[in-house]
Amino acid sequence: MTPAVFAPRAQFERLRGSRGFACEAAGLWSVGNLAVLARPCVAIVGTRSATPHGRGLARAFARDLAAAGCTVLSGLALGIDTAAHEGALEAGAPTVGVLGGGHAKFFPPRNRALAERIAAGCGAVLSPYPPDEPARAHQFLARNAVVAALADAVLVIEAPARSGALNTAGWAAGRIPVLAVPGDVDRPHVQGCLALIRDGATLARHPDDVLEALGRTRDAAPAVPAAPHCDALEAALLAFLRAGEATIDALCAASGGAPGDVLAALARLELDGAVECRGLDRFAAR
């Protein structure tokens, strides 16, 4: 996978410079179709040491939410994350994974094939770190912040009292809906979920609870936005323009593309009806 750089959504920009968010990247590195971030995005997170029941729940929630028109986000870790990505793929829908290191230093190695399936299935694999940056423990906190920043809701499934999933929920709290699936009160692997519900998170019993928190219904599912020609530069430009119109110089800086390449990509996007020219050097998504 050869990643390109794109400028992230406004939510990510607001997190940059926040306490605990140490990533110095100018943007996110991406492989795949960034247009899927325009759909309602639900982050599904939880423990790496998930039970078979928890993995089954994550797959079922992800499959139903993806079928209802949501993009499922997660961290490409083992356990709940893996099950969530697989559930979305089972629905024939795109999903987005966020790494804690660079694409070329993929971690965990066991999920590289899953990441390739995600990118090939009109989804995307993102990282706040350049391709050759190895994954280190503290970087997963920044990964969690990116997941929360790109999400419109966070769903936690099977999180113990100390869990990275709770860190993701913390980044989301007060900004977007946070939901948690309950469990038996004497089971260690759900103590984090129970604490979230005690502290005000919405109890999630069914995917419809998540859709309700988003103010959506199953009948409101939008089509999957296409990435014209599956070109990484075009997808990066389209994702940037969905946040508002921009100049050629801004698009070159955001995508890392040369002016000639950016102009050619914009011309193709115009022909596909995905963007429009507004003046001599300003473009916007349609």
Strands (E), 173-212: 178-180, 202-203
CATH of domain 228-285: 1.10.10.10
Longest CA pairwise span in the chain (Å): 65
Query: Please, where in the chain does CATH 1.10.10.10 lie?
Result: 228-285
Query: What is the overall mean pLDDT for the chain?
Result: 83
Structure confidence at residue 68 (pLDDT): 92
Residue carrying the six token digits 């022909």: 271
Structure tokens at 8: 């992230």
Query: What is the third-level CATH fold of 4-220?
Result: Rossmann fold (3.40.50)
Structure confidence at residue 79 (pLDDT): 95
Q: How far is CA 157 from the centre of its chain?
A: 17
Structure confidence at residue 12 (pLDDT): 54
Is pLDDT at 41 greater than 60 in this prediction?
yes
Is pLDDT at 246 greater than 90 in this prediction?
no
Structure confidence at residue 20 (pLDDT): 41
Structure confidence at residue 266 (pLDDT): 79
* Percent of the chain scoring above 90 in pLDDT: 44
More reliable by pLDDT, 266 or 209: 209
Query: Please, where in the chain does CATH 3.40.50.450 lie?
Result: 4-220
**pLDDT 10s digits, 91-114:** 889 999 999 998 988 999 999 999
Mean pLDDT value across residues 236-243: 77
Structure confidence at residue 113 (pLDDT): 92
Structure confidence at residue 227 (pLDDT): 45
Burial (Cβ within 10 Å: 0-12, 13-18, ≥19) of residue 273:
exposed
**pLDDT 10s digits, 182-231:** 988 889 999 999 999 999 999 999 999 999 999 987 765 555 554 444 46
Q: What radius of gyration, in Å, describes the C-alpha atoms of the chain?
A: 18
Mean pLDDT value across residues 31-47: 90
Structure confidence at residue 17 (pLDDT): 47
**With bands split at pLDDT 50, 70 and 90, how would you rate the model's confidence at 168?**
very high
